[in-house]
Chain A
Amino acid sequence: MDDNIVIKMSGLTKRYGYGDTASFALQDFDLTIKRGEFVMIMGPSGCGKTTLLNIIGLLDRATDGEYYLNGEDVSDISSARQARLRAKKIGFIFQDFNLIQNLTVIENVALPLVYVNRPRTVRLKAASNALKRFHLGEREYYHPSQLSGGQKQRVAIARAIVSDPEIILADEPTGNLDSRSSSIVMDELKAIHEEGNTIIMVTHNPALTVYATRVINMLDGQIATDVKTVSDYNLPQPINAKTKKHRRRKSHKGEK
């Protein structure tokens, strides 16, 4: 398999209910996403966007079909393995931020590192670096309730990238934000993408497609249109995971 393929799905089906009441969120769905793509998924409500994102993020399982993540068949893995992959390979950004209210900002950002067994000092340091990057260094010990919507979403983005995941999944990250905060958040996502990260984002807002390298329109659980605005060849730094990590470490050192 091509080294650069992060996600490969074929014949994916997600059915809710049985028999007469069965409805399909995804039907015979094929999708291949390469490293470095910034994919935007659009479509009307109920077309299966969020279901797709949940399946990609291993929060949900397809009823049928094949799903390869980084070349590993993950269609039938145990939920413990799912959790492990979520911790290591996937970063989530949600519409309603999903920060834990009674943890401080820095603890929220460090949360994914808890489940990959990093010592506390390492976790807090990584979280602190991630927060500085999003200009939230001074708000480390705030609680989420003390932040504005845009700040909360930046905290959530910091949390999504703190464990250096393979793919970042964003479910309408600007849906609850005003236009100013939206553009700040989108700029941050763009910056992350330019570092070679793969981002898959669900949105309702057509104006945001300018950030994407590929726009997929979904309808009734299937792909209606699939447009690449940047050729595979010109994707920002189509690098493999090893060099990506190497470069990331270097850039952290540069910041100090």
Chain B
Amino acid sequence: MALLFKTHLRLARASIRQNRTRSFLTCLGIAIGIASITLILSLTGSISSLIRHEATNIGSDLIVVRPTHSKDAVTSIVEELTSANSFEKSSLSLLDVSTISAVEGVTATAPIAISTNTLMNEENIVPSATVVGTTPEFHTIEPLTLKYGVFLNDKNSANAAVIGQQLALELYNSSNPVGRTLSFYGQRFIIVGVLDEIEESVNFDNVNFNKTLFINIETMENLMGYVQIQQINVRALNTSLLEPIAGNIATALKENRYGDTNFSVSYGDSISHPASSLLGIISGMLALVAGISLVVGGIGIMNIMLVSVSERTHEIGIRKAVGASARNILMQFMLEAFILSFLGSVLGLFLGYFLAFLVSLITPFSPYASWEIIVVTVLSTIIVGIVFGTYPALKAASKRPIDSLRHLQ
């Protein structure tokens, strides 16, 4: 059996070499499919590794509370895509923040309430800037360093604001606007601090701090009448107590809302999953498209193998006459299809990483390699080879020897 396999391998190699251009084009079909899958997996992998990296920077003693909606998956996907749920009120409230603070073992609590609003001063107007309402404890949880001034604290006035580096430049054309004012929601705020530029623009808060204005969450509520709390970051006393503390938080929050659980409490690795499922939806759809191109590539293989089988009918007849069984012929053609898809996937893997490298030049997503990507590639190769190689090979194997011998070359 092993001997025969070697022979078939040699045969397949010879046949692929004989039709170099044809084989290359067939492989290319597969390669494009595999390359897109690799690219997508590499990108999503790199995004979550960025987030994971940030989460470890902050420390492993973090608990994150996020609102959830009790809707079915399809509705929530549609809402994500149309951003309809940004008009829905978050299920977390300031009461929850104080409830969490009171839980034993919690050392710091920082809500992140997001509002997108127009900011202006004498010089510039920035429409739709991100304004985050939080508490001074935010600074002790997030590893943010200040370039100028101080972060929000109990001593500054209610109208103090801290500004991200990029937003500062946009508003004041200056990197140090400490002491200057701006207007938000008709209220004057005074800049007390400027953040250092942060390189990683993706994080588990889903906020780009470089383009953000931080104000006190109570001021925000007074001003706007409500706060939209996207998540509450909690620092625990001790890493080993994460689980019981998270449990206590969940129980306390449940009591707040009479047993309803429209929130999630996560810690450890699960924090690093992007809070928004949008990333998942987009990458899933891209993967679907890539899968379709893989199927098209597979059909290419099937097509070429069918041509090859009909071109070699006479040869099949001769082989059968000298003793090849249907299984031998089946194996020969299956192996050929398999090698085509294997070559295609190797090519696609390189192509995919090359594209990921190109993408990394213009985005913060560095190419991300993992055994999962290799496994997915290899598995899809095997599946494509089997699915699209079987029919032509069966066709070859089922040919009757005398008919094939009569078939003219």
A binding-site residues for B, Cβ under 8 Å? 54, 57, 59-60, 79-80, 83-84, 86-88, 92, 94, 98-102, 111-112, 114-120, 159, 163
Contact = CB atoms under 8 A, between A and B. Distances in A.
Contacts of B322: 86-87, 92, 111-112, 115, 159
B7 A84 contact: no
Contacts of B405: 59, 94, 98
B18 A115 contact: no
Nearest to B409: A101
Given A87-B324, A98-B405, A114-B324, 20 more contacts: A57-B321, A59-B321, A59-B405, A80-B327, A83-B325, A84-B323, A84-B325, A92-B321, A92-B322, A98-B318, A99-B318, A100-B315, A100-B319, A101-B409, A111-B318, A112-B323, A115-B325, A115-B328, A117-B4, A159-B322
A83 B318 contact: no
Instruction: Kindly list the 5 A-B residue pairs having the minimum CB-CB distance in the complex, ordered from nearest.
Output: A87-B323, A83-B325, A115-B323, A112-B322, A86-B323
A99 B402 CA distance: 15
A114 B320 contact: no
Contacts of B325: 79-80, 83-84, 115
B14 interface: yes
B4 A88 contact: no
Given A59-B401, A59-B402, A98-B405, A117 B321 contact: no
Contacts of A84: 323, 325
Contacts of A99: 318
Contacts of A79: 325-326
A194 to B, nearest CB: 24
B224 interface: no
Contacts of B319: 100, 111, 115
Contacts of B362: none
Contacts of B321: 57, 59, 86, 92, 98
8 contacts: A60-B402, A86-B320, A88-B323, A92-B321, A100-B315, A100-B318, A111-B318, A111-B319
A116 B14 contact: no
Contact of A83 (B4, B14, B315, B324): B324
Size bracket of the B interface: 20 to 34
Given A94-B405, A98-B405, A120-B7, A115 B324 contact: yes
A114 B7 contact: yes
Interface of B: 1, 3-4, 6-7, 14, 18, 314-315, 317-328, 401-402, 405, 409
A57 B18 CA distance: 32
Nearest to B4: A117
Nearest to B329: A83
A65 to B, nearest CB: 18
B402 A83 contact: no
Contacts of B4: 114-115, 117
Nearest to B18: A102
Contacts of A117: 1, 3-4
Contacts of B18: 102
B336 to A, nearest CB: 14
A60 B320 CA distance: 12
Contact of B402 (A54, A111, A118): A54
B134 to A, nearest CB: 74
A116 B409 CA distance: 26
Contacts of A159: 322
B190 to A, nearest CB: 84
A101 B314 CA distance: 10
A88 B358 CA distance: 58
A92 B402 CA distance: 12
Contacts of B320: 59, 83, 86
Contacts of B314: 98
Contacts of B14: 102
A120 B409 CA distance: 27
A99 B321 CA distance: 11
Nearest to B15: A102
B63 to A, nearest CB: 65
B187 to A, nearest CB: 84
A159 B318 CA distance: 11
Contacts of A112: 322-323
Contacts of A88: 323
Nearest to A92: B321
Contacts of B317: 98
Nearest to A98: B318
A120 B315 CA distance: 20
